[in-house]
Amino acid sequence: MSVAPPGPRSAAAGAGRPHGGAPGFAFAILLLYALTTYGGIRSPDGEVVYRSCEALGARGTFAVAEGLEWRGFGTAPGRDGHFYPVFGPLQTVACVPFDRLGAVWLGESEVRAERTPAGISYHVDRGLFTAVRGGRPAAPLPHARRFFASWLNVVAGAAAALLFLLLARPVAGGREAALYAALLCASGSLAWPYAGTFFSEPLAGALAVGALALLVRTDPRLVPAPAAGPVAAAGAGLLAGLSTTAHLTSALFLPPFALYAAAVAPAGRRGRRAAAFLAGTVPPLAALALYDQARFGALLETGRGVDPAAAAALGYGRFTAPWEGLAGLLGSSGKGLFFYCPAVLLGLGAWPALRRRSPALAWTLAGTALLRVGFVAARSDWHGGFALGPRLLVTLVPFLLLPVAAWLAEEPRRWRVAGLVLLAAAAQQLYFALAEPFVYLHLTNRPDGDWAWAVSPLLHLWEAPLAPFWLARSGLPVALVWLAGALLLLPLLGLATARLARRAAGA
């Protein structure tokens, strides 16, 4: 069975309001993420990135002036004797405007810092111990500065949601199913709790989604009048390359995306279309290579290989047999994707509907998923460290959910099931967004923690402190705030889904 591209009525509807609903959706998700963000930096990775951001804004260098108490983590000695982050540079650069805003507003005023409702950042001024004791920092200014920087991911997360909506529209062939899929991705997946962290996944994920959003506009099975192919392909390559400078594992998106660019091109132009995509990746990847060369003296040296003994001691990853990682990534109590983001099961079930809409896109997403899961599973650090769920699969989640747009558009009777899935998924992610996992993970740390149901955040995160910056000092239990939030949010999502279903039925 083949499904034709959207008909004239659908196309006309999309053309009449090319951005219909998108601004309101983006604002709603921005507000949702703002209300549940932590307002600080809790991971050692994020702290290293922030210190590099602070140095870049103040002194024009990526070099970190002072390392973490966890000696050597996240930095490596450069050619000039200074220490540099081992993480991609894009998040450091993107963070600078947020940090500079904080610097201008706060100055050196401890009074203004005290009035800033900042979360406690854990890797400055022994913040983790202060948070565990339930105290307040003696010097609030460093925490207030990090409060401003932490808003980067609120913006990046909302941008990712908007880009996903733009990606889903051609896949669905209309606005209603696309908007539902975007709601599911933004409020019913790990995209929500990760928007409250300072990990690089939200920024890297937004750019990867943007890259595919450009490529689908060259797919004649999805778009009646495809965009200028070489230009769109080059733009997609640029975004995918930038994603790689935010998180190096985004390089895994490049092969399947390049193949998709070629697959949807007219016969005789496929090689040139793939070449256009790859050409777009050259500027950011060349900049990344030169950045590595300037710091460590080698084009492909990120810093993790400067001192192999230190890398082993710090737990940096190495290749290993994938079986433990595969089981852990998909089904463990601490990191299992199917437990921490069960909405992806709907996406997997919806894959045949996407294959009927666009076989090339469906197989691209399948290849993307297999490549990332296989690669991460074959790494000793597949667990992603102290983080909620499978951190190294977070950027894959939007692509696992994308088939839902095609599935829902295919059969109107599926809206009832879709509505129930959205409510259940959002209720779970609200729980994750409200509770503070980092303190909980530190307090329950044990060698088998990724596998032990006795300490699984799935069951026990209720015991953690509240995470949102404006509620953290309230002393309220997570369960009570979750109940109040669910009573507010779930009816709104239910009404939104019902309205979309009515509009889809009347289209």
* Distance of alpha carbon 366 from alpha carbon 123, whole angstroms: 39
Which amino acid is present at 408? L
Residue 27's CB: how many other CB atoms inside 10 A?
A: 12
DSSP 353-389: HHHHH-HHHHHHHHHHHHHHHHHHHTBTTTT-SSSSS
**pLDDT of amino acid 1:** 36
Reduce the DSSP state of residue 148 to 3 states and report it.
helix
* Distance of alpha carbon 341 from alpha carbon 330, whole angstroms: 10
Residue 146's CB: how many other CB atoms inside 10 A?
A: 31
CA distances from 198 to 193, 218, 289, 391 (A): 11, 34, 24, 12
What CA dihedral angle connects 445, 449, 450 and 456, to 10 degrees? -90
Which amino acid is present at 375? F
Length of the chain: 507
**Contact present, 357 and 171 (Cβ < 8 Å):** yes
* Distance of alpha carbon 173 from alpha carbon 12, whole angstroms: 11
Host H or E run for residue 83: strand 83-85
- List CB contacts of 437: < 8 A, sequence separation 6 or more: 193, 387, 388, 457, 461, 464, 467
- Exposure b/e, 17-26, CB count within 10 A at least 16 = b: eeeebbeebb
Residue 148's CB: how many other CB atoms inside 10 A?
A: 22
Reduce the DSSP state of residue 75 to 3 states and report it.
strand
Which amino acid is present at 169? R
Secondary-structure percent of the chain, ordered helix, strand, coil, rounded to 5: 65, 0, 30
* Distance of alpha carbon 241 from alpha carbon 204, whole angstroms: 10
* Distance of alpha carbon 213 from alpha carbon 83, whole angstroms: 37
Which amino acid is present at 330? L
Taking phi over 0 as left and psi of -120 to 50 as alpha, with beta for the rest, 326 belongs to alpha
**Contact present, 32 and 62 (Cβ < 8 Å):** no
**Contact present, 54 and 92 (Cβ < 8 Å):** no
Cβ-count burial of 505 within 10 angstroms (0-12 exposed, 13-18 middle, 19+ buried)? exposed
* Distance of alpha carbon 216 from alpha carbon 236, whole angstroms: 10
**pLDDT of amino acid 337:** 99
- List CB contacts of 447: < 8 A, sequence separation 6 or more: none
Residues of the chain with pLDDT under 70: 1-20, 507
* Distance of alpha carbon 499 from alpha carbon 214, whole angstroms: 29
The pair phi, psi for residue 433, each rounded to 5°, is -75, -30
**Contact present, 156 and 162 (Cβ < 8 Å):** no
Residue 86 DSSP symbol:
S
Which amino acid is present at 52? S
| Ordered alpha helix ranges (H), 403-460 | 403-410, 415-434, 437-443, 457-460
Using one digit for the tens of pLDDT, what is the confidence trace for 411-420?
989 999 999 9
- List CB contacts of 96: < 8 A, sequence separation 6 or more: 53, 56, 57
* Distance of alpha carbon 497 from alpha carbon 428, whole angstroms: 18
Using one digit for the tens of pLDDT, what is the confidence trace for 274-313?
999 999 999 999 999 999 999 999 999 999 988 888 888 8
**pLDDT of amino acid 315:** 79
